[in-house]
Structures are given as structure tokens and as C-alpha cells.
Amino acid sequence: MATYKAPLRDMRFVLYELHDGAALSRLPGLEDMTSDLLDPVLEEAAKVCEDVLFPLNRPGDEEGCHFENGVVRVPRGFAEAYRLFREGGWTGIACDPEFGGQGLPKAVNSLVEEMICATNLSFGMYPGLSHGAYLALHAHGSDALKQRYLPPLVDGTWSGTMCLTEPHCGTDLGLCRTKAVPRPDGSYAITGTKIFISAGEHDLTENIIHLVLARLPDAPKGTSGISLFLVPKFLPGADGRPGSRNGVACGSIEHKMGIKASATCVMNFDEATGWLVGEPHKGMRAMFTMMNEERLAVGIQGLGLAEASYQGAVAYARDRVQGRSLGGVKAPDKAADPIIVHPDVRRMLLTMRASVEGCRAIGAWVAHAIDVQTHSPDPQARRDAEDFVALMTPIVKALFTDLAFEATNLGVQVMGGHGYIREHGMEQYIRDSRIAQIYEGTNGIQALDLVGRKLPAHAGRSLRQFFHPVGAFIAAHAEDDALGPFVRPLGKAFVRLQQATGQIARIGMARPEEAGAAATDYLRLFGLVAMAYQWARMVQVAQARLGSGGDDAFYRAKIATARFFMDKMLPQTGALFSIIMAGGAPLMDFPEDAF
């Protein structure tokens, strides 16, 4: 029973009420970004996603992509949908107006991305990868490359990819073997094979721009010797239009568990012509502009899928009748009561709901910080926002996608045997969500990034952007009669996070394996505390709005969901703290030959 209606009311809540969307219009370059402009954008995005993308989701999954003689064709209906998507300007809503974009804030673009991912993740991969390529090129490309390649990327007539992984190396990109040989005309001959390349080949756009990591002949070993190159499928002619075919071709496509309508390709580069992006041997810095954006985007993928699964599960639970309520008959006119009356069904639905709305609040918080980082005239404000986004990126990627996999599994569980059957559309969400825990750096890698890089960075400076506002909020409201019941559980969990952070900081440098053993549990602990902080703030807003006119049911539901989170989900932090403090010996002392 797959169903979807864009959660616009909750999106407006986090955009305007929780995170002060009006502040966006006070940033240079975003002066026109008021609700009068942004609300119609969200409403139109909802129509496109509900009416165009959602109906293609299951058929696209069943048909998949077609590969023949080096050509990839997307499922039926995708090309027409992409044309409508591109003509509507959706490929460039968050891009620089200098290159044809609309310049909308990240805070709005992330909500649009959520709707796209909820309705058709496979489709969303194509413009999603293009936007990542746009960001890397916009930040690090030469003026000549930007003038030639950004306008068609922004208007969607061309698309982009990210080519990192090779058959022998994934996370450890220092093992990259793809070669880049300089040519007299300033271009480079790129030779090598890349795998797992999303949208590497397809028939949606007239050209595909590959951003490829490769090594120059004089490159030092490791990641410090990797450079980034722009390699188009077709070399642009003098008129800027696609001309002769470049030496890059798709060797095969993968047959996957999920996102089957997204072409995942093996790409072969045979002395393909490319151009250096950024400085020699500094490719990782340029690529991480794209990687960090994609990690945040993958978190939003998880959020979208969890929302879609929640909506499908609720619709089924309201309609399906089985058994009678333990508290007495609720539907005497029916042979049985709807299963939504049963405690365990409510546990599952509320777990999904609390996860989705909590993640949406965190995602909007980070997106707002990106807008400050990009547009604020205050250098200190930009630096603080940059520190916060860097700290939260691995948490958004890992927490959102872990919770999404849990939520999509719960969605199937609510529907029982009907959820397991393909025709009802719910099992697809599980399969599609599973990859989000893997690509753009597995969630274990995100946890290592958090404890190994983000915590010690700048002598712990990034942590202040989280710890200080949370601590101040708790101190200000713990004794508040109305808010205290929500703030005090947050305070207890926050103390656990502080103590766990101190423990990891003490042992991390001297005994890295101890920090590594704690990393995954620490990231979940951090994420739950961040979510608890957002839930407490949402209650604060909702309590203040009650009785102000017409939307009391929404605010009461928000407060009730917060109560469930605080009482039934946040206590996990106690167990996580105990696991972290138990140390790494139970993992590392186990004899390797006993596995």
C-alpha cells in the first residue's frame, strides 16, 4: 500500500517556525527568499513528485535499466519525466544565478530533495549526482571550465558523475591507479577503470561530465598524490555543443538489490581527454566538496524513504482490521478493529514518526547553517557555521540512513505478509534504503570520521558549535514547568554524551583502536542527543503556538510525538554509554583465528 503526500505542513514548521526561515532573507543574496516565494516552490515540487515521479517508482524498479552495446537506457517514462523536471527548472534551483541557477537556499533545496527521494530515489540519483558535480566544479574549476560546463549542468541538458572507486580500492583512495598523462595542449590523457559509478551512462541528457580522480606521472604515493579531472563523454565543439566521442565508455551495469532504475556503471577510460580541476595533487580536497555534499544528500535520501514508508504503514494500519483492542472494542460495526489500535503497531508507527520528524529537524538545522556559511558577511559566523556543518555531516549521513533502514523494515512489519509482497510497494523501500548505509563512505567510516577527524579538529573547536547551544538551552529551561519534562531527559543524555566524548578524547590519541571500537555507538549517541535537542525545541515552539489559531491538532501531535521520543527512544543513550565505556577489549582481544 505505497502512498505518499508531501509533508508540507511539517516542512514549513521546521523551515519557518523551528529554524527561523525569515532569517534567510536577511542574508546577502537571499533577500527575496520569503515565504511568499518559497511556499509556492515547495507546493509545486510536491505536485511534481506526487504526480510525475511517484507513479514511476515501482515500474522503474521492476523494469530496471537496459544495457546493450555500451548504451544504457533508463526505464519507460523516465526520459519524459526528466524532460518535465528539467524544463521546470528543478535541476538548478540551488545553483548560482550567474550560470543560470535560481539561487534558492539550501534550507529549501534539502526539502525538495527529500520529496524527490521519497517518491523516486532512482530518478533522483541522476540530478543529484549532477548537482554534486556542479558544486565541485563551481568551487574548484578554472573560469574557463566553469563558463563552458556549468550552464548546461545547471539547466540539466548535461549531467555529471563522481568517479572515485576502482576495483581494488574504495574507501582507501590512496590506492587509486587511474593515470593522467599531460598533453602539450594543456589537457590530459586519462586511463583507468572506475566502478560503482552512479549515472555513469544513460540516455537522459545529451552529455555526461565525469569528475575523475587520477594520478599524474610525478604524483607522490597515497591520497596526497591524487588529482581531479573533468572528462566529458562528448568533447564540446567550438559552439559549445557535444562534438566527437571521448575515450570513455560504459563496460557494464550492476545488477543490484535496490535503486534498480539508477544506472550503476563500470566506466573505462582509454586515454580520454580531460582537464585538471583545481591544483595538481589536490584532488581529494576538490572531490570532498562533492563528497560532503553527497553525504548530506544521502542522509536526506534516508529521510525521504523513511517518510514514504511511514505514510504507507499508517494508511495500511488504519484500513486493515485484525483482532480486537485489548482495551475494548473500538469498531463495533466491523468484524475486527483496525490494527492501529494495537500497542505494538503504535510502537512501530511512533518510532517511525519520531525518527522522521526528528531527522527532518536536524537536516533543516544543518541546511540553515550551510546557508549562513555560504552567504553571511560575518567571517566569524561563516567559520562557526562551517565548523558545525563539518561536525554534523557524518552524523546526518549515518544516523539518518541507519534510522531509515530501521523505519523501512518497520513499515513492512506493520503490513505483515502484505508488506513482504512486491505488489504493495513497501519492500522496495527496504531495498532502496540499504545502499544509503554503504555508499559515499559506509556508516562505519562516518563514525571513524567523527571520532578521528571531527572531534579533535582545531583542538575541539567544532564541538563548541553543538555543545554550547545545547548546554545553554538545558540550563535555561530545565526548571520550566511546561518544558522541563522534555528538557530534563535531554540533560541526562547530554551528560552521557559529554562523558563519552571526554573518554574518547583521553584514549583516542594513545590507543586509536579504543576510539575506533567506540565510534559507531558514539555516533548513534551523539545523533540521539542532537535529535532530543531538536525535539525539546519543537515542543517549545509548539507550546507557544497552542491556542494561537487553527492548528492546535498539529502542535498537540508534535508534543505527543516528542513525549514518545523522550520516554521510549532517548533511553537508548544509557545503553550506548555503557557500551562505549566498556572499551574495545571485547572486540580486539578476540583471537583472529577463532573467527
Q: Are 271 and 231 in contact (CB under 8 A)?
A: no
Largest CA distance in the chain: 84
The set of residues, in sequence order, having a beta carbon less than 8 Å from that of 453 and lying 6+ positions away, is: none
For the chain, the first-to-last Cα distance in angstroms comes to: 42
Three-class SS of residue 80? helix
Q: Are 376 and 382 in contact (CB under 8 A)?
A: yes
Q: Are 522 and 450 in contact (CB under 8 A)?
A: yes
- Give the whole-angstrom CA distance, residue 405 versus residue 258: 13
Amino acid in the structure at residue 1: M
The set of residues, in sequence order, having a beta carbon less than 8 Å from that of 305 and lying 6+ positions away, is: 117, 118, 121, 404, 407, 408, 429, 432, 433, 436
- Give the whole-angstrom CA distance, residue 156 versus residue 407: 33
- Give the whole-angstrom CA distance, residue 54 versus residue 58: 8
440 as an active site residue: the answer is yes
Three-class SS of residue 272? strand
Q: What are phi and psi of 266, to 5 degrees?
A: -90, 120
Burial 198-221 (b: 16+ CB within 10 A, else e): bbbbbebbebbbbbbbbbbeebee
Catalytic residue among 166, 427, 440, 514: 440
Residues in the chain: 595
Q: Are 198 and 125 in contact (CB under 8 A)?
A: yes
Say if residue 377 is exposed, middle or buried (CB neighbours under 10 Å; 0-12, 13-18, 19+).
Answer: exposed
Active-site residue set: 440
